[in-house]
């Protein structure tokens, strides 16, 4: 399909785009292209109970598309639910939305992007790409008529919580298929993000919004020096102004998979420059909720060098393995090869662990303090931010968790703990203040503190968290916190209850402030049980949303 963009020969006259037969309808949970409640595919008589609603509704476009209601809007247009009165079906119609004050060149570019969106989507024959039925030219502006997708977007779904590794892999496979079809046709999507992935009934997944797609052989629309797309999902090579390729779209898919399982983009910061800087330089924490092949896929896709990223075939193999794991496959913690203790032996602050262990029973029955405080990052439903003034920090925790503090504080260590009512999952924050460290026991970096703890843990067989003293494994990782060095360790263990030992796992996040204070955020939960996935989700969300004043 193509569109000359010339003047129309009659009022609201459609172009010669070929009308396609209706595609199967999939309830897709939405973005502006999606609609949640299913509605009958039939004409809606004016004045009926389902008559057009809102300003602009009721207008007839190209002599056949009756606008019924607005579904949403984006940077380049408003999407309407409309009735195709010629064939008696509902469609989505994208109306150009360009400010009148823009220079003529920018207005022309915006309209050309919409034409390209139609051409790009119409060239692709894949069930995970939304069908384009027609393009109508009204007052020299292209209105795109496409399949009405019912449901909501992945972005909307993630506002309610994260996905399991298996579900994320299934969705990733569908998006990958759409990208493979696009790349085979010489098209780069360039804006793969959760809001552009629609989830529908019958397990349908649709990739939408090819509005900034680059079609091979066509000139760039960014010759004014800017770029388009969502900063936290843009590949590093695009940030640097280098020529993108299919690997750039695959990078964005990796960020989407990370956000789907961890609940937050690994590169999101408080402003666009900081976000772009993190895309270039930050190393994300390993995806704790995405084990095995899914973790491998995400790590590979987020390689800063596009030449080292896995190709689509390798990504497909990993996602297939994650979406359809063998029945007996054990859950494993994701690892990053090549990182370890490095032979360093440092100190372990044991006072905090003793205090935390002593609070395990009391935490389940102690009343908690809730201090409402707005937080910049998105939180799953049922979570709240707890401001801990003594720690100069804020914690994100499930709202019903119970708060516990020590009866008395040691000279060097302060801690607070939040526990669910069952006592199964708990979150604790400890702080060793530099001003109180008269013995110089605080390590010089977060990683040094982690390796110190890890060394002592392997020597003694215990972090003093009710662990047994048998041999154990750990997964120490160096990471970043707001573009500063941090560390994170994951330790599976068995409790020291001789009559009823239980498998558990603990994740410990380390951060040393520029002033020398050492923060440790610890999350412990049952392992090899129904609580494991929930515990890892709690750990990922709590660590991602830790807010330390002055950072």
Determine contact, residues 333/474, Cβ cutoff 8 Å: no
Q: Residue 464 belongs to what H/E stretch?
A: none
Residues 6+ apart with CB under 8 A from 498: none
Region of 461 (left: φ > 0; alpha: ψ -120 to 50; beta: rest) is left
Distance CA 52, CA 208 (A): 25
By C-alpha distance, which of 447, 471, 469 is closest to 341? 447
- C-alpha closest to that of 290 among 334, 328, 256, 253: 334
> For residue 120, what are the contacts with CB-CB under 8 A and spacing of at least 6?
182, 187, 210, 213, 215
The residue behind tokens 């800017």 is: 226
The residue written with tokens 């390590």 in the block is 443
Instruction: Consult the annotation and say whether 94 binds a ligand.
Output: yes
Residues 334 and 477 sit within 8 Å (Cβ to Cβ): no
Please tell me what DSSP assigns to residue 237.
H
Q: How far is CA 543 from CA 38, 54, 114, 285, 506, in A?
A: 39, 44, 40, 10, 13
- Length of the chain (residues): 551
Select which of 191, 195, 420, 452 is catalytic: 191
278 phi and psi angles, rounded to 5 deg: -70, -35
Spatial strand order of the sheet with 77-84 comes to 60-61, 65-73, 77-84, 89-96, 141-147, 132-138
Residue 396 near residue 383, CB atoms below 8 Å: yes
Is 100 catalytic? The answer is no
User: Which residues contribute to the annotated binding site?
Assistant: 94
Active site residues: 191
Show binding-site residues for ATP. Answer: 94
């Amino acid at each position: 399909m193509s569109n000359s963009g010339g003047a129309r020969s009659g009022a609201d006259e459609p172009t010669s785009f070929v009308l396609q037969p209706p595609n199967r309808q999939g309830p897709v949970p939405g973005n502006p292209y999606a609609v949640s409640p299913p509605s009958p595919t039939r004409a809606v008589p004016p004045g009926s109970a389902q008559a057009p609603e809102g300003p602009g509704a009721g207008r007839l476009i190209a002599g056949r598309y009756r606008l019924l209601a607005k579904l949403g809007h984006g940077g380049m247009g408003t999407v309407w639910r409309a009735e195709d009165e010629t064939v008696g079906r509902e469609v989505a119609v994208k109306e150009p939305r360009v400010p009148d004050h823009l220079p003529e060149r920018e207005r022309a570019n915006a309209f050309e992007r919409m034409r390209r969106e139609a051409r790009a989507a119409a060239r692709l024959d894949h069930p995970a790409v939304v069908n384009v039925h027609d393009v109508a030219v009204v007052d020299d502006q292209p209105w795109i008529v496409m399949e009405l997708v019912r449901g909501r977007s992945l972005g909307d779904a993630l506002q309610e919580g994260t996905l399991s590794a298996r579900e994320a892999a299934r969705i990733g496979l569908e998006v990958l298929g759409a990208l493979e079809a696009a790349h085979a046709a010489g098209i780069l999507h360039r804006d793969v993000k959760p809001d552009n992935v629609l989830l529908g009934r019958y397990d349908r997944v649709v990739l939408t919004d090819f509005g900034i797609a680059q079609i091979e052989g066509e000139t760039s629309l960014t010759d004014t020096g800017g770029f388009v797309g969502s900063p936290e999902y843009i590949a590093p090579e695009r940030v640097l102004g280098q020529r993108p390729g299919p690997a750039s779209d695959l990078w964005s898919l990796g960020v989407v998979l990370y956000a789907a399982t961890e609940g937050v983009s690994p590169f999101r910061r408080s402003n666009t420059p900081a976000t772009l800087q993190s895309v270039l330089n930050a190393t994300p924490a390993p995806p704790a909720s995405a084990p095995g092949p899914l973790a491998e896929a995400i790590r590979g896709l987020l390689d800063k060098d596009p030449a080292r990223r896995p190709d689509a075939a390798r990504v497909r193999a990993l996602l297939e393995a994650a979406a359809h794991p063998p029945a007996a496959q054990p859950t494993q913690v994701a690892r990053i090869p090549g990182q370890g203790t490095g032979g360093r032996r440092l100190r372990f602050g044991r006072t905090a662990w003793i205090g935390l262990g002593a609070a395990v029973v009391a935490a389940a029955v102690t009343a908690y303090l809730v201090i409402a405080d707005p937080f910049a990052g998105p939180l799953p439903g049922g979570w709240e931010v707890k401001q801990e003034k003594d720690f100069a920090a804020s914690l994100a925790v499930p709202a019903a968790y119970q708060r516990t503090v020590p009866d008395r504080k040691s000279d060097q260590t302060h801690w607070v703990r939040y526990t669910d009512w069952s006592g199964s999952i708990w979150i604790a924050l400890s702080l060793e203040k530099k001003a109180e460290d008269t013995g110089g026991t605080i390590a010089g970096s977060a990683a040094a503190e982690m390796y110190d703890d890890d060394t002592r843990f392997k020597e003694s067989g215990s972090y003093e968290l009710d662990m047994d003293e048998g041999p154990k494994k750990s997964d120490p990782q160096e990471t970043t916190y707001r573009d500063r060095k941090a560390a994170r360790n994951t330790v599976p263990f068995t409790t020291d209850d001789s009559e009823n030992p239980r498998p558990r796992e603990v994740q410990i996040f380390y951060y040393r402030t520029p002033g020398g204070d050492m923060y440790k955020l610890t999350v412990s939960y049952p392992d090899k049980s129904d609580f494991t996935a929930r515990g890892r989700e709690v750990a990922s969300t709590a660590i991602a949303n830790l807010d330390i004043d002055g950072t």
